[in-house]
Every structure is written in C-alpha cells, then in structure tokens.
C-alpha cells in the first residue's frame, strides 16, 4: 500500500513539472529563494576570487603572467562550455541530479586544488574541474526558476539571484585578498566546498523528472574546447604552431556542425548578420574588460607595490560592487532611450576609464579605484544593450540557441582576453615610453595596454553601430 501511494506521488510529480513544480516550490518559497541566492553567490565568487592573487601565484611558482593567468583562463573555458552543455542536459534528464553532480564535481576540483598547492599543473587541473562543475549552477538556477517557481514570484527570484551574483562578483576580490594575505591563496579552493550543504535541501524540494529523448553534441563541444585551448596557448606564448592548430580545429568544427544533427552551435545563426555583429561586439567589449581586470593586480603590485589585501579591498572592491547599481540604471535607460544610447554611454565610461588611467598610470593607485567604478559601470550598460539587441534579432524558435551562443561566446572571450593580456605582460612588445605624462618605466607596459584597450572598445562600438545604429532610437 505504501509503495502504491509512493508510486502515485511520483506519477503526479513527473506528469507535468510545470504544474507540480511551482505548487511545491511556493510552499517553501523563502527557503528556495535563499538557497538559490546562496548557489548564485558561490557560482561567480570563484570566478573573481583568484584574480587578486595572480601575482602571488606567479611569484610562488616563478612563472610569467602569461602562465599564471591560466588559473583564470582554465576556469572560464570549462565554465562557458559547461553552461551550454548543462542547459541542454536539463531538458533531457531534469534538474535534480544534474545539480547534485555539478556541485560534487565543483567540490572535487576544489579539494584537489586545496591539497596540491605546490604543483602548478595540479592547480590548473583543479581549476578546469571546478569550472566543469560550477557551470551547472547558473544553468540549473535558470531552469529551476522558470520551471518550478510560479509566474507571480519569478521576478522576485531573478532579482534575488541577480543581487547575490553581483555581490559574489564584488566581494570575491576582497575575500581573495584577505585569505591570500592572512593564510595562503590555496585556501581559496576551500570556499566552494560550502555549496555541498545545499544538496539535501534540493534533493528534498525538487521533484523527480523522467528522462526525455534528446542528444547532446559532446563531440562538437570537445572540438570547440580544443580550439579555445589551442588559441589561448598561442596568445600566452605566441608559438605559431598553436595558432595553426587552432585554425585547423576550427575548420574541423565548422565542417562538423554542418553535418551533425542537433549541433553544439546552430550553423543557421551565422547567416544572420545583425546577430553575428551583436555577438562579435559582446566578445570584443567583454573580452577587453576581462583583460583589463586581469591586468589590474599586476599593475598595482609592479607600479604601486600594494599588498594583495589592499588590491582586493581598496582597489577592486568599489568597482565590482558598482555593477549592481549600474545594471539597474542601464535597464531603465534602455527602455527610455534605446539600446544604442545605453551602449554608447557604456563605451564612453569605459573609454574614459582606460584613457584616464593610461595618462596617469604611475601617479596614484587610487586613480584606479575610480577608473574601475567607471569601467564596471560602463560594462553593466554594455551587457544590457548587447543582450537586448541580440535577443531582438532572433525568432522565437531561435531564442534558446541564439542566447546560449551569445553567453558561450562572451564567456570564452573573457578567457581569451585574460590570456592575451598575460602574453603581452610577459614580453616586451608594449614595454616602451609613449605618453609624456608617464615617467616610471614599470608603468610603460600598463599605460600602453590601456591605450590598446581603448582602441578595441572603439572597434566594438563601430561594429555595433553598423548593425544596430539605424534601427535603435
């Protein structure tokens, strides 16, 4: 009798997650929102928490910035690829066990990094594994909110999760600086293990979902991952073999996705010029911003000799925390003035940040604090405009694949941006006096890099205008 009742309950749960899920979640809504915010916080915290410690890692292992930046690059690559894969797997296998598996992989990679801090290859392997696990969190959060929370509470859910994500991005450098200064940077690997405490709650509250037929293009995902790894290896060491290998693999990937059913990236999207230009603009602007952020700790250490804790709490923290405020303002401006206005304003703020810091790179470290507030504010505007503009180029049946491709491309461009900056800091290509206002030799390369950043932002603005300038008011 008990088994019969249990089977009947399972049938009711799985017969329409859209009906049973929200009803069940609403009964525990405060707890559900709290745990979703908790996961959102820790999913992005690990993306920023190591940034401030990159100079310490480079010093410990005696490696150049181009190599040390792989601590960030490795996480971003698997995080971006994994987010796309988990999103598709959720339609086939449901949320519950994918979330549990992702959190376990995330914590497993963290424990590997914690117990192997004196082997740089082990640290990179741990970051690859962390990214593969952490990527399940944002994908599953979006599905849970859409599938299991009623329409009247979804706005609240997205707002809470968004706020916690912004807080995680903002407080990451502070935590990273404090831990690295007082204990050791390797203890930063311990933080994600805390997410395991959420597993019992989600096992209890999430309904069982039956498996559905479908296919995930794992081969395509692996090919694209190989392309990104080869290209980033080229940008960090400038060995032409890696570049040739990346182009060869890219050709294989393009050939493959045109001949496979349900490809990892939908080829038809490349026949939409406005969509492609929007994605390209996002890649250029977000990749440039990621490169800039990865450069800041090195600049503060080499030019101004600041401690890790001061870089995280005094330099990076105010800028990262400004994202939440500017994100709200950007959304309102987009509705009133149009996407072109919001993107142009964001580009203006970012450009002023870069050029102002380039002109006075060796004057005072606190100039960078204000510059980061402008840069992160401008970045919030840019993200709002790009997401909205690209979404408008897609038909309803293309929305999932198109927005997934945008997110994937922007994630991967952030890794490439950090890789390129690491490579430029490791050679003398930009290490020469250019601006008369910069007199300290240690600041030359950083000042010149900021000028390059400003030029790239201008290129992104031109590409965006060519696609959306005549259509946006």
- In tens, the pLDDT along 254-275 reads 999 888 887 888 888 888 999 9
Q: Is 141 left (phi over 0), alpha (psi -120 to 50) or beta?
A: alpha
Between the two ends of the chain, the Cα-to-Cα distance in Å is: 66
Residues 300 and 427 in one domain: yes
Residues 129 and 242 in one domain: no
**Spatial distance between the Cα atoms of 368 and 467, rounded to a whole number of angstroms:** 33
Tens of pLDDT, residue by residue over 296-354, are 999 999 999 998 888 988 888 888 777 667 766 766 776 678 888 889 999 999 999 99
- Per the CB < 8 A criterion, the answer to whether 199 and 98 are in contact is no
For residue 24, the tally of other CB atoms under 10 A from its CB is: 16
Predicted local distance difference test score (pLDDT) of residue 322: 74
∠ CA 413-350-467, nearest 5°, is: 65
Provide the number of structural domains found in the chain. 3
Predicted local distance difference test score (pLDDT) of residue 459: 96
What CATH number is given to the structural domain containing 308? 1.20.1250.20
For residue 435, the tally of other CB atoms under 10 A from its CB is: 17
Residues 13 and 146 in one domain: yes
Please give, one letter per residue, the 3-state secondary structure of the chain: CHHHHHHHHHHHHHCCHHHHHHHHHHCCHHHHHHHHHHHHHHHHHHHHCCHHHHHHHHHHHCCCHHHHCHHHHHHHHHHHHHHHHHHHHHHHHCCHHHHHHHHHHHHHHHHHHHHCCCCHHHHHHHHHHHHHHHCHHHHHHHHHHHHHCCHHHHHHHHHHHHHHHHHHHHHHHHHHHHHHHHCCHHHHHHHHHHHHHHHHHHHHHCCCCCCCCCCCCHHHHHHHHHHHHHHHHHHHHCCHHHHHHHHHHHHHHHHHHCCCCCCCCCHHHHHCHHHHHHHHHHHHHHHHHHHHHHHHHHHHHHCCCCCHHHHHHHHHHHHHHHHHHHHHHHHHHHHHHCHHHHHHHHHHHHHHHHHHHHHCCCCCCHHHHHHHHHHHHHHHHHHHHHHHHHHHCCCHHHHHHHHHHHHHHHHHHHHHHHHHHHHHHHCCCCCCCCCCCCCCHHHHHHHHHHHHHHHHHHHHHHHHHHHHCCCCC
Q: Is the pLDDT of residue 161 over 50?
A: yes
Predicted local distance difference test score (pLDDT) of residue 324: 65
Residues 191 and 284 in one domain: no
- Per the CB < 8 A criterion, the answer to whether 177 and 52 are in contact is yes
Q: Is the pLDDT of residue 402 over 90?
A: no
Phi, psi of 214 (to 5 degrees): 175, 175
Residues 317 and 434 in one domain: yes
Q: Is 215 left (phi over 0), alpha (psi -120 to 50) or beta?
A: beta
Residues 22 and 84 in one domain: yes
The pLDDT of 18-44, averaged and rounded, is 66
- For residue 233, the enclosing domain spans 217-261
Residues 53 and 149 in one domain: yes
Asked which of 200, 215, 230 is the last residue of a domain, the reply is 215
Q: Is the pLDDT of residue 252 over 90?
A: yes
Residues 275 and 382 in one domain: yes
Of the chain, the percentage scoring pLDDT greater than 70 comes to 87
Task: Kindly list the distances between the CA atom of residue 169 and the CA atoms of 32, 50, 320, in Å, as whole numbers in the listed order.
Answer: 21, 11, 6
Residues 459 and 418 in one domain: yes
Residues 411 and 439 in one domain: yes
Predicted local distance difference test score (pLDDT) of residue 162: 67
Predicted local distance difference test score (pLDDT) of residue 157: 73
Q: Is the pLDDT of residue 10 over 50?
A: no
Residues listed for the chain = 473
Tens of pLDDT, residue by residue over 455-473, are 999 999 999 999 887 654 4
**Spatial distance between the Cα atoms of 53 and 180, rounded to a whole number of angstroms:** 7
**Spatial distance between the Cα atoms of 194 and 300, rounded to a whole number of angstroms:** 31
Asked which of 261, 286, 315 is the last residue of a domain, the reply is 261
Residues 54 and 27 in one domain: yes
- Per the CB < 8 A criterion, the answer to whether 336 and 329 are in contact is no
* Exposure letters 299-328 (e unless 16+ CB within 10 A, then b): bbbbbbebebbbbbbbbbbebbbbbbebbe
Which residues, at least 6 apart from 18, have a Cβ–Cβ distance to it below 8 Å? 147
Tens of pLDDT, residue by residue over 99-125, are 899 999 999 999 999 888 889 999 999
Place of tokens 């952020």: 293
Which residues, at least 6 apart from 184, have a Cβ–Cβ distance to it below 8 Å? 117
Residues 97 and 113 in one domain: yes
C-alpha count within 13 angstroms, C-beta hemisphere, residue 399: 7
């Amino acid at each position: 009798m008990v088994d019969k009742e249990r089977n009947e309950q399972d049938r009711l749960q799985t017969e329409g997650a859209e009906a049973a899920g929200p009803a069940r979640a609403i009964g525990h809504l405060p707890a559900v929102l709290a745990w979703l915010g908790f996961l959102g916080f820790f999913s992005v915290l690990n993306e920023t928490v190591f940034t401030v410690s990159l100079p310490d890692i480079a010093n410990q292992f005696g490696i150049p910035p181009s190599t040390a930046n792989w601590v960030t690059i490795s996480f971003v690559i698997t995080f971006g690829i994994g987010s796309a894969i988990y999103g598709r797997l959720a339609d086939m296998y449901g949320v519950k066990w994918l979330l549990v598996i992702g959190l376990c992989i995330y914590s497993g990679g963290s424990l590997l990094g914690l117990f192997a801090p004196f082997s740089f290859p082990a640290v990179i392997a741990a970051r690859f594994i962390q990214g593969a696990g952490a990527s399940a969190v944002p994908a599953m959060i979006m599905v849970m909110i859409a599938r299991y929370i009623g329409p009247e509470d979804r706005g609240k859910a997205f707002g809470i999760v968004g706020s916690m994500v912004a807080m995680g991005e903002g407080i990451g450098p502070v935590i990273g600086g404090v831990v690295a200064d007082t204990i050791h940077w390797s203890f930063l690997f311990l933080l994600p293990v805390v997410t395991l405490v959420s597993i019992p709650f989600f096992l209890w509250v999430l309904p069982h979902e039956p498996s559905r037929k479908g296919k995930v293009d794992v081969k395509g995902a692996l090919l694209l991952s190989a392309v990104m790894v080869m290209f980033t290896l080229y940008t960090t060491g400038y060995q032409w073999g890696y570049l040739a290998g990346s182009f060869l693999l890219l050709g294989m990937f393009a050939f493959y996705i045109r001949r496979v059913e349900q490809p990892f990236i939908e080829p038809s999207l490349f026949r939409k010029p406005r969509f492609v230009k929007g994605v390209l603009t996002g890649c250029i602007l977000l990749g440039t911003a990621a490169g800039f952020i990865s450069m800041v700790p090195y600049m503060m250490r080499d030019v101004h000799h600041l401690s890790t804790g001061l870089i995280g709490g005094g330099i990076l923290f105010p800028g990262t925390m400004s994202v939440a405020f500017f994100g709200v303002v950007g959304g309102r401006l987009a509705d009133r003035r149009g996407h072109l206005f919001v993107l142009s304003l964001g580009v203006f703020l970012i450009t002023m940040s870069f050029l102002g810091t380039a002109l006075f790179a060796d004057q005072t470290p606190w100039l960078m604090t204000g510059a980061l507030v402008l840069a992160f504010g401008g970045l919030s505007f840019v993200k709002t405009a790009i997401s909205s503009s690209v979404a408008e180029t897609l038909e309803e049946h293309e929305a999932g694949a198109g927005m997934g491709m945008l997110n994937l491309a922007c994630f991967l461009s952030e890794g490439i941006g950090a890789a390129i900056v690491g490579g430029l800091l490791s050679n003398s290509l930009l290490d020469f006096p250019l601006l008369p206002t910069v007199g300290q030799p240690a600041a030359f390369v950083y000042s010149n890099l900021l000028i390059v950043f400003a030029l790239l932002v201008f290129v992104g603005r031109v590409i965006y205008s060519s696609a959306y300038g005549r259509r946006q008011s």
